[in-house]
Structure 1
C-alpha cells in the first residue's frame, strides 16, 4: 500500500535492561511491525562500562536477579533494584521525545514503572494471562536464563493458577548443548514450553521445539505481534 504524502510513521520505543541497540532481538520485533512503525531503541545500561556494571549494579543477597546483553555481545547479571531508576529514566526520556507506545524488553517484574500518558507495555503483565489461555490446563514448561531466577520467574505465573516446571539456559552466555539439555528436561513432561526471556531468538525456539517435540512460545515474538496492533 502506498503511503500518502506527508504520512508520519509511528514510533515504537523499545527499552532493554541491557544496552541498545539489540541487534539480536530487534529484527524479531521489526518483523512483527511489518513497516508500520519505526523502532526507537534505548538501554538502561547505555554508556556504562562492564567494569562499572559489575561493581555497582550486580545483585546483592536477596535482590531480584536479571541478566541482559551489552553491545559488545557480553552478558551481565544485574540487580532489578539497582537498575530500576535507570530504566525509569529511559522511559521518561522516550516519552519526552513524543513516543506514545513503549515496550519494555524484559519479562521480569518491575513494580512501579510508569509513564505520564504513553502506553507502557510490560511483558510480565501480558504473558501470564495469555499463556493461561493457551495452555488450558496442559503442562507448562518454562526455560529462563539463570537458575537463580527460578522462584521469581515461576511466582509471576502462580496468580493465574499456573505452576510451570523450570529449566535454566542463558540466551547470552549458554552453549547450544546447555540449551538442548534444558529443553530435553521437558520431554514427556510438558505440553507447551515458554522461552521466558526477551533475549531468546528464533534459533532457540526451533531447537527447543525439535528437541522436546512440543510447541514452543518465543516471548518476544508473541509480544511483538501484540504490540504491532497498537502502532
Structure 2
C-alpha cells in the first residue's frame, strides 16, 4: 500500500482534517501523521513558539483542538527537523498541511507544499479579477494580501479562525462578502473544513475554493 506522510505544523493527530483527506484520497493510500510540535506539551509549544512584534504569524491546531499562534521563523526550523525524521523513516511522499509560504527544505522525496499549488490554480481561475481570501488570524491579513500581490492577485482579505470555535464570526465574515466585488473566495488555510466551505458559500452567495480538498485532489494524481 502506498504511504503518504501528512505533516502538520501543529500537533498530530489532526482529527479535524484527516477524514476529509482520506475521503478524497481513497482507502488504497495509507496516511501516516506527523506534527512538528508532537514532542512538546501544549504549554511548552505555546510559550516557545509565540511570535514577537514584527514576526510573521502562522496558525495551527494542538492535539486538544486548541489553536496555536506561532512565529514563522521558529516553525521553519522544526519543519526541517521533522522532514529529516520522516525521510529516515522511509516515506518518500509528504503533504505539508499548511498553505503558508515556506522555503525550500532538504528532502529527497516528493514534498507537496500547498502555497504554490493554491496560488497557481487561483491565479489561472481568476484571470486578473479580484478575489476574496479568508485567513485564520487578523495578524495574517496584511501579510496574506502582500503574498497574493506577489502572485499578481488583487484580494480582499478577512479573518476567522477554523480552530477557535469562531463559526459565528465565519458566518459574519461570509455575510460581508455578499457586497464585495470578488469573483470567488479562497479559504486560505488547511484547517477549514467542507462544512465551513458550505457556510461561506451559502452566506456569501459566492463560489468558494477550499484549500484542503483542492490540494488533495491534485495530490491523488501522484498515486
Normalised TM-score (structure 1): 0.92
Deviation at 1:174, TM superposition (A): 4.0
Unpaired runs of at least 5, structure 1: 1-8
Correspondence 1:218 to 2:210: yes
Q: Deviations over 1:150-205 (max 9, x none)?
A: 12222222233201100100000142210011112211312200000000001100
Where does residue 157 of structure 2 map in the other structure?
166
- The 1-side partners of 2:104 and 2:50 are apart by 21
- The 2-side partners of 1:73 and 1:159 are apart by 32
**8 Å Cα contact 1:44/1:90 also seen in 2:** yes
Matches within 5 A, 1:73-152: 73-115=65-107, 117-152=108-143
Which of 51, 76, 101 does residue 59 from structure 1 map onto?
51
Normalised TM-score (structure 2): 0.95
Unpaired runs of at least 5, structure 2: none
Q: Deviations over 1:17-73 (max 9, x none)?
A: 000110110111111211231111100110311221222110011111011111111
Aligned residues: 222
Larger Rg: 1
- The 2-side partners of 1:129 and 1:54 are apart by 32
- The 2-side partners of 1:18 and 1:90 are apart by 12
- The 2-side partners of 1:59 and 1:185 are apart by 29
Where does residue 5 of structure 1 map in the other structure?
none
- The 1-side partners of 2:28 and 2:221 are apart by 10
